[in-house]
Amino acid sequence: MAAPPSARRDRLRPVFPKLVQMTHDYVYGDVWERKELSKRDRSMVTVAALVALGWQEQLATHIGRALDNGVTREEVAEIITHLALYSGWPSAMTAAHVACDVFEARDRK
């Protein structure tokens, strides 16, 4: 599978071509294609990790990808709520805002 389109990643290509290639070939071409977990499950794990780490920009992208992979908005909300107890209240509140931004952007389409 090719990496999903990303204007932000395309911006990096001229300066960081190897990083973009590794993202395409390894992250999306290998790891995301492994059969041991469904893409839906991989999305849930990825969203949880990004919430816990507080990586907002990546989180927004992966919440969108999770929705595309069949994770519901209610499940995204539950992942974030659940993680408030494990990764901290600030990371969950920040993630909740990111999720709302993603949901609202999709509603405008």
For residue 82, the domain's CATH number is: 1.20.1290.10
| Residues 45 and 24 both lie in one domain | no
What is the maximum alpha-carbon separation in the chain?
41
pLDDT, one tens digit per residue, over 23-44 is: 989 999 999 999 999 999 999 9
Side-chain-side CA neighbours of 46 within 13 Å: the count stands at 25
| Residues 12 and 44 both lie in one domain | no
Q: Which residues of 73-108 are buried (b: 16+ CB within 10 A; e: fewer)?
A: eebbeebbeebbeebeeebbebbbebbeebbeeeee
pLDDT lower than 50: segments of the chain: none
Per-residue pLDDT at 49: 98
Tally of domains in the chain = 2
| Residues 71 and 89 both lie in one domain | yes
| Residues 55 and 74 both lie in one domain | yes
- In the predicted model, what is the mean pLDDT of the chain? 94
Q: Which domain holds residue 23?
A: 1-34
| Residues 96 and 54 both lie in one domain | yes
| Residues 6 and 19 both lie in one domain | yes
Global confidence as pTM: 0.89
